[in-house]
Structure 1
Amino acid sequence: MTERVVIAGAGLAGCLLATLLGRRGVEVTVYERRPDPRVAGAERGRSINLAVSARGLAALEQVGLRKQALERALPMHGRMVHPAGGTPNFQPYSADRERAINSIGRAELNAALLDAAEATPGVTLRFSRRVTGVEDGRVLLDGEPGERAGVVLACDGAYSAVRASLEGIGCDQDFLEHGYKELTVPPRADGGFALDPDALHIWPRGTLMMIALPNLDRSFTCTLFWPKGDFTALDAPRKVRAHFEAHYPDVAGLMPGLEDDFARNPVGSLVTVRARPWVRDAGGALVALVGDAAHAIVPFFGQGANCAFEDCIEIDRCLDETGGRWDRALALYQERRRPNTDVIADMALDNFVEMRDRVSSPLFRARQAAQHALERRLAGRYMSRYELVSFTTVPYAEIPARIRRQNLILGAAASAAALAAGTALRASRRSRRAARGRGRPAR
């Protein structure tokens, strides 16, 4: 494994992958278009707090960061749904109310991963240098030919410049009509949380959903998911305040900086990316797409970072299995991961509908309570989709089939129970009729 490896992008996936490869003795150079975010700070309004769950924690364990991440995270044991005109209700994520997803700031986790990569022998970080493509075996830096590389790993996001530079890669980009904008609920005057910190808060308002995740400084990062035209319609501070007082009255008074945040923070796009294929030869450099560059997903299942981390772990595993042969390892990585990323992309889109429309429905809550009852009664044999995605490392691609099998078994059990009850009822009726016949006087 003597090839020079270049990683484009020092975000979450790029840093984790650099650390894993450095520990294998691979010489890695990581290029990042931004200045060092540990010095320059994070981009305003671009965080979308991460919900790190079982898959991400398993990956962080591989580089010794699980404990550190959990120490800097806040567990959220369920959703707090704020219905329009109703009382907030708490919906636990797991049947035992013990499992939680973990809210952590993207910038903070990125800084920890940067520190880990920088401390790994063989890993070099280069900031303010943008990889704009790969051509004739050379990495293009800001459009100019740079170093030769045997392997280039594109961790440069949903709008990957490396991906765009490669011939023969198809890329479907499906944009939601919704964009997102971040706001802040600061701590109370006494320093406490203004909302319950043990929950992911949701204000389901159809097309105008808002969520909030807690931070260690006792603030909340709120994210609006609105059709883009609705952002531009609120073109004056008084309109912003009036809209929030009408649609989010229980939180509007907790946001003294609302008008300023709304005006200053950008509107981001929500896109699902499906690239085909993920691995190409670019004039002697073997190039592979990783994370969002290959399969960006919308954030509504909280799996974007968790899924990208699994990519990194899979590449490391495939290098083990192929004896360090990059060509075979990357082909195997693509074969294994692509079916999984296709499935979680679809589930993330479906979860948007669930968060936006279903969570306030009494029928949804009843179904969720029934699922939790089954999980308690059939521990390990029945698990909801949410539990399988968030609290296990079962491959995403296996989850739909498992859910179908569970439902078939439950359906068969319910039919058998109904049949047995019907048979018992008929037998009881026959017995009662026979008893009445024996009790009649002779004529």
Structure 2
Amino acid sequence: MDYSTNDSKPTSEKKVVAVVGGGLVGALNACYFAKRGFQVEVFESREDIRQAKIVKGRSINLALSHRGRQALKQVGMEDTIVSKGIPMHSRMVHSLNGTQSPIPYGKKGQVILLLQSAETYPNTKLNFAHKLLDWITNLSHTHTHISFSLSLSLFSLSAEGAKEEIQADLIVGCDGAFSAIRKQFLRQSRFNYSQTYIPHGYLELTMPPINGEFAMKPNYLHIWPRNTFMMIALPNLDKTFTCTLFMPFEEFEKVTTGDQVIKFFQKYFPDAIPLIGAEALKRDYFHLPAQAMVSVKCSPYHLGDKCVLMGDAAHAVVPFYGQGMNAGFEDCLVFNEIMDQLNEDFSAVLPEYTRVRVPDDHAIADLAMYNYVEMRAHVNSKWFLFRKYVDNFLHIIMPRTIIPLYTMVTFTRTRYHKAVKRWHWQDKVRKDIVHVHSTLFKVL
């Protein structure tokens, strides 16, 4: 079933939607529900980052692509967010000998702003420093279904330590990979859940500007692929690059002194040393320990007609396809489209959202895992480069038949699981074409 947004006016009659989590997906969701006329309460355990002098936490630079842009467009935020970013046209692969080779992505062609947008709606209230203690649904079981009471209760703890109870008609869990909302789902039967930690961690370093300008070409995702590990660098508006080293934890643990850091970089990333700075490397490498990365899958995404999961709470993915934020934003967009289609009837909308979205989010989680192998190892392969060339050539001569996987995922809204299915079919077609050509060459 296809869903398209229409301009129908809200029929919510001031129902209360509690959005738990004030990050990217939570803030965007608040905009969507507020635009529909719901009374929106956003609860975030951290203080308001717009007023904080120091913002604590981990970060990996985020890539905004077509799916995310379409989600932002529906609430009038696309141009504002895009203006705060830097376009990336290609991967730039750094070899051991220092040569750089671009690999194009396709044809030529973030929290603070969203919170500010959500706050412009008079029917939205942002509650910071409110930690979720528990939430109840007053479940009553029958042989065939689970029914819920008319309203939900959330218990939160304010910054002053006061316990508060909030009644809501719908809870939207957008509270990250270690979601407190999702814990309630784990108490229910037939809820599937899995989390997988990959054996690699990540560590961030900063590459400063040189004479006030970027130290490398800014419109690229720079990659240093080294088979079992890699480093990437993404540009920032202040002319720095954020360099992220992805490596097995046991390799991180072998490097214990500043001199070992320099020796390690001299062996694997020699061109990066003068750009980052030897002294900065020695210092910053030990500033924070390597951080873990987890992939989360679960199903279903809803409990009756009263609670739904979105973003990392539903599908945390490792960051190697640049789709984590985009998939979360698209969650909001898909839910909004289904709300239009089913007239905001939560009892129909929530199960339909699960049916539509679970296979897509599971597919992008798997693709993110696959892309890590591609980025750290395959981009060094002549076969990989030849395959990319063949894909792009076939796409030029048969643009509607052969579409590269990366193009489908990043530059269209083709459903993730359908993109994977088509990718497998195209891979077979490409292999058949290569086989025929190689056979003809031998005959000639």
TM-score computed with the length of structure 1 as normaliser: 0.87
Match of 1:112 in 2: 113
User: Could you tell me whether the CA contact under 8 Å between 1:298 and 1:345 is conserved in 2?
Assistant: yes
1: distance between equivalents of 2:269 and 2:57?
20
Residue aligned with 2:332, SS: helix
Match of 1:128 in 2: 129
User: Could you tell me whether the CA contact under 8 Å between 1:375 and 1:383 is conserved in 2?
Assistant: yes
Equivalent residue letter for 2:373: V
- The C-alpha deviation readout for 1:386-441, integer Å capped at 9, x for no partner, is 1111111111111122223434555666788899x79x98xxxxxxxxxxxxxxxx
Question: Which structure 2 residues correspond to residues 148-227 of structure 1 after superposition, within 5 A?
Answer: 148-166=167-185, 167-168=187-188, 169-188=191-210, 190-227=211-248
- The C-alpha deviation readout for 1:128-176, integer Å capped at 9, x for no partner, is 1112431243112149562121111000000001111331143200110
Q: Which has the larger radius of gyration?
A: 1
Match of 1:435 in 2: none
Match of 1:441 in 2: none
2: distance between equivalents of 1:127 and 1:418?
63
- The C-alpha deviation readout for 1:194-228, integer Å capped at 9, x for no partner, is 01111101111222311100111111011111112
With over 3 angstroms needed to count, the CA separation of the structure-2 counterparts of 1:266 and 1:66, relative to structure 1, is: farther
Deviation of the 1:307 alpha carbon:
0.3
* Number of equivalenced pairs: 408
Match of 1:319 in 2: 339
Asked whether 1:346 is paired with 2:366, we answer yes
Match of 1:247 in 2: 268
User: Could you tell me whether the CA contact under 8 Å between 1:46 and 1:182 is conserved in 2?
Assistant: no
1: distance between equivalents of 2:25 and 2:289?
24
Residue aligned with 1:52, SS: coil
1: distance between equivalents of 2:436 and 2:252?
54
Equivalent residue letter for 1:272: S
User: Could you tell me whether the CA contact under 8 Å between 2:42 and 2:127 is conserved in 1?
Assistant: yes
Q: Unpaired segments of 5 or more residues in structure 1? A: 100-108, 426-443
2: distance between equivalents of 1:337 and 1:249?
44
Match of 2:293 in 1: 270
1: distance between equivalents of 2:345 and 2:276?
54
Equivalent residue letter for 1:163: R
With over 3 angstroms needed to count, the CA separation of the structure-2 counterparts of 1:207 and 1:133, relative to structure 1, is: farther
2: distance between equivalents of 1:153 and 1:280?
11
1: distance between equivalents of 2:430 and 2:389?
16
User: Could you tell me whether the CA contact under 8 Å between 1:45 and 1:265 is conserved in 2?
Assistant: no
Structure 1 residue corresponding to 2:103, chosen from 91, 95, 103: 91
With over 3 angstroms needed to count, the CA separation of the structure-2 counterparts of 1:387 and 1:3, relative to structure 1, is: same
Between Structure 1 and Structure 2, the one with more helix by share is 1
2: distance between equivalents of 1:49 and 1:296?
16
Equivalent residue letter for 1:135: I
Equivalent residue letter for 1:313: L
- The C-alpha deviation readout for 1:96-119, integer Å capped at 9, x for no partner, is 4x05xxxxxxxxx11111111111
With over 3 angstroms needed to count, the CA separation of the structure-2 counterparts of 1:266 and 1:25, relative to structure 1, is: farther
- The C-alpha deviation readout for 1:231-263, integer Å capped at 9, x for no partner, is 233222222233222221101121132233222
Match of 1:32 in 2: 44
With over 3 angstroms needed to count, the CA separation of the structure-2 counterparts of 1:376 and 1:125, relative to structure 1, is: same
1: distance between equivalents of 2:70 and 2:62?
15
Asked whether 1:10 is paired with 2:30, we answer no
Deviation of the 1:178 alpha carbon:
0.8
Q: Unpaired segments of 5 or more residues in structure 2? A: 1-11, 138-151
User: Could you tell me whether the CA contact under 8 Å between 2:98 and 2:270 is conserved in 1?
Assistant: no
TM-score computed with the length of structure 2 as normaliser: 0.86
Match of 2:140 in 1: none
Share of identical aligned residues, percent? 37
Deviation of the 1:41 alpha carbon:
5.3
Residue aligned with 2:295, SS: strand
Deviation of the 1:77 alpha carbon:
0.8
With over 3 angstroms needed to count, the CA separation of the structure-2 counterparts of 1:231 and 1:133, relative to structure 1, is: farther
Q: Which moved more, 1:237-246 or 1:13-22?
A: 237-246
2: distance between equivalents of 1:346 and 1:41?
38
User: Could you tell me whether the CA contact under 8 Å between 1:152 and 1:287 is conserved in 2?
Assistant: yes
With over 3 angstroms needed to count, the CA separation of the structure-2 counterparts of 1:258 and 1:411, relative to structure 1, is: closer
RMSD value over aligned CA atoms? 2.3
Match of 2:6 in 1: none
